[in-house]
Structure 1
Amino acid sequence: MLLQQSRRDLLRYGTAAGAATLLPAQAFAAADPWQRAAEIARKARAPVFPPRTFDITAHGARGDGTTLNTAAIAGAIAACAAAGGGRVLVPAGDFLTGAVHLKSNVELHVAKGATLRFSTDPAQYPMVFTRWEGIELINYSPLIYAYKARNIAITGAGTLDGQGSAQHWWAWKGPWGGTVSYGWREGMPDQRKSRAVLFQMAEDRVPVEKRVFGDGHFLRPPFIQPYLCENVLIEGVRIRNSPFWNVHPVLCRNVILRGLDIYGHGPNNDGTDPESVDGMLIEDCSFDTGDDCIAVNSGRNEDGRRLNVPSQNILIRNCRMKEGHGGITVGSQISGGARWVFAEKCRLDSPDLWYAIRFKNNALRGGLLENFHYRDIDVGQVGRAAIACDFNYEEGAKGRFTPVLRHVNITRLRARQATRVLDSQGLPGAPVTDIALNDCSFDGVTAPSIVRHTERLSLRNVRVNGKTVQKLDRSVPA
């Protein structure tokens, strides 16, 4: 019954969030869309906490790198919440812990010189209601988790270390083609069987309380997951070696990520995956990841359609992306849709970054993706294409749900070394539509753009290898 009520709350929350802030469709043409971005920034307010401090060492924590401090940290958080809120302080030292569960009105502050080091023992992560690759289930707790909390924060100049490595967590992925050793060898257990079972459960609408995984199923927990929370700040900390996705807000409103330094080249080490969020500011962050740096999501396949809550009103600015599959990505767990995503003044540069701007979807996901506005994007080097719109991702056309991607506006993107300008591949009967490139330049281009099932591609003052082009076809300007 509790989980059934949670799902009703979750659906009700998402519907209300979607109705509260979306502009009418005709406003796309009638108004300057960047006014909406300014409104997102204006509404992004960090939570404010009472001036009380609860030092975890006063609750028995020891920063010796070996003492397990889970209970001491939980005690400090409970005392802080009971007092009406404040700051839980992790002072300088090396503090080993299991799962950390935040409560309303609590700021977890990891001070300079402090490391919060997370245990590699799965038993330290109790079963909770969570989302995994866009599907609800009962699984290991995220390393840092909050459920239906208001006014929470993770701050400081210290380090959060998930201890993902070839020895711990990462081998659960199974076969993977990353750039680092991740530990799996043929014959070792991995996630593939349980992943397939979970996906089928969702398609069959098996109640979530019966989708119980955890021990023996090898579905890695994400690092930080606020779930159905409001007023969330994550600022300043260094995040290292997540078992899975790094920062994964789900069905949250008013989320700020600021000044984060996220690093980890393990399997699916996405930097941040806003999933069915409404109102999010991502600024001054650095991403160097083993998968997409930023991936906007809204649920996978039947589960995403069942909840039907889009991600919307997201502003990304002044961020740096290094290694990863995509820099600024939408999808592929995107069945609930996405709209009104903005990015500006970002720097993307690595030979191991596949795409700077990436959209990925297919006919099993479906979903309406519209109104994406990017400007002043500085691309040093990408390995495959500067821009990709892909409806053939994974299962491709093997489904009956029409993916829609429309109204993508990219202004003043400058790429110094891009193998391709554009790889845009819709599906027969489901074209990508209304892509506009304005005042963009692409150098170092050695392969032709791929433009299939794509309609109304507009180029205004676009230069490729120093020459102005009127269309992107199979030729590469000399």
Structure 2
Amino acid sequence: MTLKEKKKDIVNRITLPVFPDRSFDVTAFGADGNGEADSTSAFQQAIDEAHRSGGGRVTVPKGVFLTGALKLKSNVELHVKKDAVIAFSRNPDDYLPAVLTRFEGVELYNYSPLIYAYEAENIAITGGGTLDGRADDAHWWPWKRGTNGQPSQENDRDALFEMAERNVPVDERRFGKGHYLRPNFIQPYRCKKVLIQGVTVMNSPMWQIHPVLCESVTIDGVKVIGHGPNTDGVDPESCKNVIIKNCQFDNGDDCIAVKSGRNADGRRINVPSENIVIENNDMKDGHGGVTVGSEISGGVNNVFAEGNRMDSPNLDRALRIKTNSVRGGVLENIYFYDNVVKSLKREVIAIDMEYEEGDAGEFKPVVRNIEVDRLKSTGGQYGIRVLAYDHSPVTGLKVTDSEINGVAVPMELKNVKDPVFSNLYINGKRYDSHEK
């Protein structure tokens, strides 16, 4: 089966949700479009009623609506019309009670994501409106490092990771009130047939769109904006059959990061991310355009990134793969083709096993079958940079029919076995497989 056929097969497996022709306007349940009164209860009542009625569309009309945490349920589409803004509360208490979630790849009970769904099927967030998490340098983001006179997440983060390494039961990993682990924005957890389409998502406390253990996910035509710490754009984690297309990213961290759990917890759950299609997206600021890792202990298989455009001096890398021997995992069959990079800061192609802890663990990462074809890029420090272990070299690296221009260092290859370069030009020089 050709790559084109493999990608088409994945796309054909993805099923869009379908909803009954019923409408539930949130203002009919008492929602305040002036942005003054708390509309959480009205929104949730509309969602609950649509769910009880067998499904339908919950409509948010023009206006500004202030809410806390919302729980999306099966067979419900949350439709945010153009000129409608859902402005989320900055009060952490409005995201209680705690729910089962993941923080940086580790399961726990924590503040609810701003929009959360658990074991739901046939759900959607659509429309031309805006979802504003309203995080900023005075709200949520300071928890990252304890800035602006606010507490830091450091102690809680260390405690959670230590619990996971000791295999403490998830039900005993209770955080939330009195703790400082930031919630994600949109998180369907163990859901099927998920659609997020057309909306603008901005200013999340941290990761912005974060499907976990989901199957059949479509993210289409979404604008994802946010320049706070860890404000990744879309992070499918331990998900199967996902397409991310026609989106615009401008982020403080990775634009798209494919994940599958961190360290012992990722190995305990042991569900890879597989069959991910990333196509026709525009990427500006971020640590990486298309990233795999670093919370990747469950592995990843079959990632197709095609026809994406990247252009920002504040974009660090185009294709980024990051793991180490603490993370482990098998990362394989990653295809990056027909992508255009007009500007970026650091590496065009980066595979890094020295990320964070480096070679400090017992879980050998495996990185293999990474293919780049018809790439055109300008700018950056490195063209191709691979930092792998001598006991686990990268295999199956192939770069063909590509032009990488304007880089300071064409290649740095540390422990790559038999790479294949064909019709690859870097700074105007042709590189074949035997040259480095």
| 1:14-413 superposed matches below 5 A | 31-126=1-96, 127-174=98-145, 184-185=147-148, 188-413=150-375
Asked if the contact 2:328–2:364 (Cα under 8 Å) also holds between the matched residues in 1, the reply is yes
Pairwise CA distance, 1:471: 5.3
The one-letter amino acid of 2:26's match is I
The one-letter amino acid of 2:59's match is L
Structure 1 CA distance, aligned partners of 2:34 and 2:104? 35
| Per-residue deviation, residues 167-211 of structure 1 (Å, max 9, x unmatched) | 110000007xxxxxxxx15x6411001000000000000001110
Deviates more, 1:228-237 or 1:31-40: 31-40
Identity of aligned residues (%): 51
- Residue 380 of structure 2 corresponds to residue 418 of structure 1: yes
Pairwise CA distance, 1:470: 2.2
TM-score, normalised on structure 1?
Answer: 0.90
Structure 2 CA distance, aligned partners of 1:196 and 1:66? 38
Structure 2 CA distance, aligned partners of 1:41 and 1:473? 37
**Counterpart position of 2:408:** 446
Any idea what SS the aligned residue of 2:37 has? strand
Structure 2 CA distance, aligned partners of 1:395 and 1:467? 35
Any idea what SS the aligned residue of 1:274 has? coil
Structure 2 CA distance, aligned partners of 1:315 and 1:32? 15
Structure 2 CA distance, aligned partners of 1:125 and 1:228? 20
Any idea what SS the aligned residue of 2:50 has? helix
Asked if the contact 2:410–2:426 (Cα under 8 Å) also holds between the matched residues in 1, the reply is no
Asked if the contact 2:348–2:384 (Cα under 8 Å) also holds between the matched residues in 1, the reply is yes
Pairwise CA distance, 1:140: 0.2
Structure 2 CA distance, aligned partners of 1:438 and 1:393? 26
Asked if the contact 1:450–1:473 (Cα under 8 Å) also holds between the matched residues in 2, the reply is no
Asked if the contact 2:422–2:433 (Cα under 8 Å) also holds between the matched residues in 1, the reply is no
Structure 1 CA distance, aligned partners of 2:95 and 2:299? 31
Stretches of structure 1 that go unaligned for 5 or more consecutive residues are 1-30, 176-183
TM-score, normalised on structure 2?
Answer: 0.98
Asked if the contact 1:370–1:405 (Cα under 8 Å) also holds between the matched residues in 2, the reply is yes
| Per-residue deviation, residues 327-373 of structure 1 (Å, max 9, x unmatched) | 00000000000000001000011111110000000111100011111
Asked if the contact 1:301–1:364 (Cα under 8 Å) also holds between the matched residues in 2, the reply is yes
The one-letter amino acid of 1:158's match is G
| Per-residue deviation, residues 304-323 of structure 1 (Å, max 9, x unmatched) | 00011000001111001110
Structure 1 CA distance, aligned partners of 2:386 and 2:435? 11
| Per-residue deviation, residues 275-321 of structure 1 (Å, max 9, x unmatched) | 00000011000111000000000000000000110000011110011
Pairwise CA distance, 1:66: 1.6
Structure 1 CA distance, aligned partners of 2:68 and 2:116? 11
Pairwise CA distance, 1:45: 2.4
Pairwise CA distance, 1:392: 0.7
| Per-residue deviation, residues 223-255 of structure 1 (Å, max 9, x unmatched) | 000000000000000011011100000000000
Structure 1 CA distance, aligned partners of 2:6 and 2:190? 24
Consecutive aligned runs of 4 or more in structure 1 exceeding 2 Å deviation:
470-474
Asked if the contact 1:139–1:212 (Cα under 8 Å) also holds between the matched residues in 2, the reply is yes
Stretches of structure 2 that go unaligned for 5 or more consecutive residues are none
Asked if the contact 2:410–2:427 (Cα under 8 Å) also holds between the matched residues in 1, the reply is no
Any idea what SS the aligned residue of 1:232 has? strand
Structure 2 CA distance, aligned partners of 1:447 and 1:463? 13
| Per-residue deviation, residues 114-168 of structure 1 (Å, max 9, x unmatched) | 0000000001001101111000000000000000000000000000000010011
Q: Provide closer, same or farther for how the CA distance between residues 124 and 306 of structure 1 changes in structure 2, counting only shifts above 3 A.
A: same
Asked if the contact 1:449–1:472 (Cα under 8 Å) also holds between the matched residues in 2, the reply is no
**Counterpart position of 1:24:** none
Deviates more, 1:112-121 or 1:32-41: 32-41
**Counterpart position of 1:14:** none
